[in-house]
Structure 1
Amino acid sequence: MSDIAAGRLSGEELAENFADIHPPLDARTAHIEASRCYFCYDAPCMEACPTGIDIPSFIRKIATGNVRGSAIDILEENIMGGACARVCPTEVLCEGACVRTAQEGKPVTIGALQRFATDDMMARGEQPFERADATGRKVAIIGAGPAGLAAAHRLAQLGHECEVFEALPKSGGLNEYGIADYKVVDDFAQKEVRFILGIGGITVQNGKALGRDIQLGDLRNRYDAVFIGGGLGAVQALGLEGERIEGVFNAVDYIADLRQTKDKGTLAIGRRVVVIGGGSTAIDIAVKSKRLGAEDVTIVYRRGAEAMSATAKEQEFAQVNGVKIKHWMRPAAILSDGGAVSGIEFEYTKQGADGKLTGTGEKARLAADMVFKAIGQVFVPDPVSGTAAQLELKNGRIAVDDSYATSLEGVYAGGDCIDGNIGLTVAAVQDGKLAAHAINDYLAKK
């Protein structure tokens, strides 16, 4: 019988469990931390940043008391610098490349300093960027996530009008629906959306989905250019019988519900939770389950720890929060009792000499009253390939050239929906920014 219930913890316990896991720096601490930077000429941290922020410059400005100038340095390259400061895997990007990491094993906390500067700017209620003279051109943006909003902001800066179509009730994409609450507290995602829209020249229509409410061919006729930043639309399936029985959930759907639920005490959680997957989503749902009151939470991954897409720091974070991680096991069967999940049978795996994963034939069972699938998302091509205005796909996603142009003239794309994207907020922002400049060049020649 299922043992999934709400209200396992008190309101006080939940408030503590979902508080900010990285409290912001105060001015004194930020100044001390900024003074640790060597301000390298050929800064490896800057090379490691997908958006190319001039990290030594923004840190030097904090050290000299010019926090506003520091924020502008950041936001000129990454208009979602506030979110990225909170959610980026800095340990493998800028901080991982910091010279002090090699020397002392302790990098400059670039992410925390970036948050300090951008939070100060947002607290001012100031929009530091101005629009260029109006061009009279209008661009349709599909998706109000990081890629779409970054493209819209840069296009608005360049003088174009942008109309954004978003399928969900709120804008923000992954930052609003997919990031753990304790990383983006106090409704930060919506504050950042309002900051981005504050430049003017951008209108957003929520509840408008491509293929349902709007059509690509129609947008091409009505607008001077189109940018697609719609992200991914479906969750990978395990391919096992019983995958839809009571107690088996898609992790991304549960996280979205959790993000939109003000009273977390109303969310049901199991006592024994098993999470299948090895990425950031698996870490997030496992830690959230524990913080909602689950007693036993286990992540199971088919390969070793080094092959997990979740960083070593994320894996450690899960374990510190009481989550167990088991490696070299893949799901073989979903076990049920009375129509509800009761456990998962796993097969042990090994890697052959050719690098391929194979089963050993040996099996083990884990009891569970709640199972989360976190094995990745997939792009749903129907809205862009099932119409007369078809886009070319590559590896199951939209194919683009170096300028983010698709196979259809005047249509550009970026973010998770394109082939080759690495699946990070910061990468989606960079796609949107660069695509905006490519669209600007296209419109100038048109």
Structure 2
Amino acid sequence: MLIKAEEGEAGLSNSLSLLNLEKNFLEAHGGLSSREAVEEANRCLYCYDAPCIQACPTGIDIPSFIKKIASGNLKGSAKTIMLSNPVGASCSRVCPTEELCEGACVLNHSTKPIMIGDLQRYATDWARHNDEVLFEAGEPNGKTVGVIGGGPAGLSAARELARFGYDVTIYEAEGEAGGLNTYGIVSFRLPQSVSFWEVDQVKKLNVEIKTNTRVGRDVSAEELINRHDFIILAAGMAHVPDLRIDGEDLEGVHDAIEFVKATKSGELSKDYLGKNVVVIGAGNTAIDGATCSVRLGAGNVKILYRRTQEEMTAYDFEYEFAKQDGVEFRWLTSPKRIIGNEEGKVTGIECVRMELGEPGDDGRRKPVPVPGSEFILPADAVIKAIGQTRHQSLIEQFGLEHKDGVVQVNRKTFQTSNPKIFACGDIVFGKGVGEAMVVTAAEQGKQAAHHLNHLLVKVN
């Protein structure tokens, strides 16, 4: 980082502080060395009926890719992974492997499971660092597909369709494709370079990616329907909803998604050094907001959740990671209002203690406030992480059947109420329907592409 001479000692100090912050956002886990990877690969039993494959939502042939690492065929290993999971490099870092493939490993009953996630990362990192192109576009079939959204589901669908020979265009509202992997997962767990490599793998199949292109603003839904033979809607979710309490408009109140996105886009700030940060919510995004705050130098970071630890939606490894970072968790605590000073800046947050009452329609016990239990926590910043809203306007522009912003699809084929349009990823995720994971979105995108192709072949 260059420093102008006239900035003097203050400028040098500020720049060094920013450099220190940048170091805080380097990837936390260094991965396996070549020796460690080979030794770990040789521990695998290469099970014929491998339960780890069944536990992987994308069905990666795990024994096969591990055996190729052991034999030194790293390109073959990476290709095996990416064939099943077009965002396999990202998933090697963000999947809850202890609940999926590693949780199903037969060695759990004797020693310890194979480090499948780390081996997957080792192979895909080798391909990434060596600029390997793993797949080729299929023979053109004369059909075009427009994919709305360039996140994990959209990229997976586009990659498969290109291999089948379709002319594919991705329409992405952000400045870069990759979706959650590019913008929404903290850099110290998933660097943008990993997501960009996966995007590049899709581009090299002659897929056109139109960034900064939002449906309804830059192009109409009607225009896209007329332009393409098929549409795949993979737009994910939108922004964090309002808390609906006083003080949300104060300076220092942030949307968790935008907060994490700023750190991934290089917009680091010293404004949090030594400050008190309160995060509301207990999902993976809340954890990311909290651990980002720690790395920005916050003096104290608290997560407030109106239910208990048992009900939180964050992965266990995320929770442990946050605790190691010194994040404090306040269970059965709900925000009542955000307090500010005369300058309109956050100074505190009034909370109320909760208790779990009778079960609601979803089977979970509803949190209810304890009368007279209000208290105030000091806060210089409040980060909202209470889920995300739906792209209901976008869905209605395409005239699709939905329930509260959840597109209704044939769960086997991912075809919507319009037979020309398929949908996958978070935009079809609703309560009681699967689990919103990167790996699940990738598999749905892949399946939507396969069923679209099957429909075309069947019609012809």
Is the counterpart of residue 350 in structure 1 residue 355 in structure 2? yes
Question: Partner of 2:340 in structure 1?
Answer: 336
Cα distance, 1:268–1:102 mapped onto 2, change above 3 Å: same
* Aligned-residue identity in percent: 41
Q: What is the correspondence of 1:423-438 to structure 2 with a 5 Å cutoff?
A: 423-438=436-451
Structure 2 residue runs without a partner (length 5+): 1-12, 360-364
Q: After TM superposition, which residue ranges in structure 1, 4 or more long, deviate above 4 angstroms?
A: 6-9, 265-270
Q: What is the correspondence of 1:217-256 to structure 2 with a 5 Å cutoff?
A: 217-256=222-261
Q: Are the aligned partners of 1:224 and 1:443 in contact in 2 as well (CA < 8 Å)? A: no
Cα distance, 1:21–1:137 mapped onto 2, change above 3 Å: same
Match among 396, 402, 416 for residue 405 of structure 2: 396
Question: Partner of 2:322 in structure 1?
Answer: 318
Q: Are the aligned partners of 1:7 and 1:268 in contact in 2 as well (CA < 8 Å)? A: no
Deviation at 1:101, TM superposition (A): 3.0
Question: Partner of 2:391 in structure 1?
Answer: 380
Residue type at the aligned position of 2:405: G
Q: Whole-Å Cα distance in 1 between the matches of residues 186 and 114 of structure 2?
A: 24
Q: Are the aligned partners of 2:239 and 2:255 in contact in 1 as well (CA < 8 Å)? A: no
Q: Are the aligned partners of 1:249 and 1:371 in contact in 2 as well (CA < 8 Å)? A: yes
Q: Whole-Å Cα distance in 2 between the matches of residues 191 and 50 of structure 1?
A: 22
Question: Partner of 1:210 in structure 2?
Answer: 215
Cα distance, 1:400–1:61 mapped onto 2, change above 3 Å: same
Question: Partner of 1:173 in structure 2?
Answer: 179
Q: Whole-Å Cα distance in 1 between the matches of residues 16 and 379 of structure 2?
A: 20
Q: Are the aligned partners of 1:302 and 1:330 in contact in 2 as well (CA < 8 Å)? A: yes
Residue type at the aligned position of 1:17: N
Question: Partner of 2:377 in structure 1?
Answer: 366
Question: Partner of 1:50 in structure 2?
Answer: 57
Residue type at the aligned position of 1:364: F
Greater shift after overlay, 147-156 or 302-311?
302-311
Count of paired positions? 436
Structure 1 residue runs without a partner (length 5+): 1-5
Q: Are the aligned partners of 1:415 and 1:429 in contact in 2 as well (CA < 8 Å)? A: yes
TM-score in terms of structure 1 length? 0.93
Q: Whole-Å Cα distance in 2 between the matches of residues 151 and 186 of structure 1?
A: 21
Q: Whole-Å Cα distance in 2 between the matches of residues 116 and 366 of structure 1?
A: 44
Residue type at the aligned position of 2:135: F
Deviation at 1:390, TM superposition (A): 0.8
Q: Whole-Å Cα distance in 1 between the matches of residues 404 and 106 of structure 2?
A: 37
Q: What is the correspondence of 1:36-435 to structure 2 with a 5 Å cutoff?
A: 36-104=43-111, 106-185=112-191, 187-200=193-206, 202-261=207-266, 264-265=268-269, 271-338=275-342, 339-354=344-359, 355-361=365-371, 362-385=373-396, 387=397, 389-401=398-410, 402-419=412-429, 420=433, 422-435=435-448
Query: Per-residue CA shift, 1:287-323, capped at 9, x if unaligned?
Result: 1111111001111111111211112221111111111
Residue type at the aligned position of 1:44: P
Q: Whole-Å Cα distance in 1 between the matches of residues 192 and 224 of structure 2?
A: 36
Q: Whole-Å Cα distance in 1 between the matches of residues 36 and 19 of structure 2?
A: 29
TM-score in terms of structure 2 length? 0.90
Residue type at the aligned position of 1:226: I
Q: Whole-Å Cα distance in 1 between the matches of residues 244 and 87 of structure 2?
A: 37
Residue type at the aligned position of 1:396: G
Q: CA RMSD in A?
A: 1.9
Q: RCO (CA 8 Å, sep 6+): is it higher in 1 or 2?
A: 1
Q: Whole-Å Cα distance in 1 between the matches of residues 436 and 414 of structure 2?
A: 16
Residue type at the aligned position of 2:409: V
Q: Whole-Å Cα distance in 2 between the matches of residues 416 and 157 of structure 1?
A: 24
Query: Per-residue CA shift, 1:171-207, capped at 9, x if unaligned?
Result: 111111111011223622222211221122x111111
Q: Whole-Å Cα distance in 1 between the matches of residues 123 and 303 of structure 2?
A: 36
